[in-house]
Amino acid sequence: MRNNTALKDEGMRILAEQLGIVEAERFIMLLRREPFDYTQWRQGIFKDVSLDKFLNDAQSYRNRMTTSSH
């Protein structure tokens, strides 16, 4: 598992790659400024993802992290 700094760096890099730096910064600003219920947001964002896909993706991620740390 990555430390918090590495996770934040990776998350920001991915956001910037996918959204562009301006939209990534705007996204972060929106999360910080507006009242935010993570549980409600999470339920909405993953509503179309099956449990099997979620678990398979989580296992793939774990395998990648285990492999890359060695």
| Residue 69, pLDDT score | 60
pLDDT in tens, 15-55: 999 999 999 999 898 888 878 787 887 778 878 888 898 88
In terms of phi and psi (left: phi > 0; alpha: psi -120 to 50; beta: otherwise), the region of 42 is: alpha
As a whole number of Å, the CA-based R_g of the chain is 15
pTM for this model (two decimals): 0.53
Distance CA 8, CA 48 (A): 26
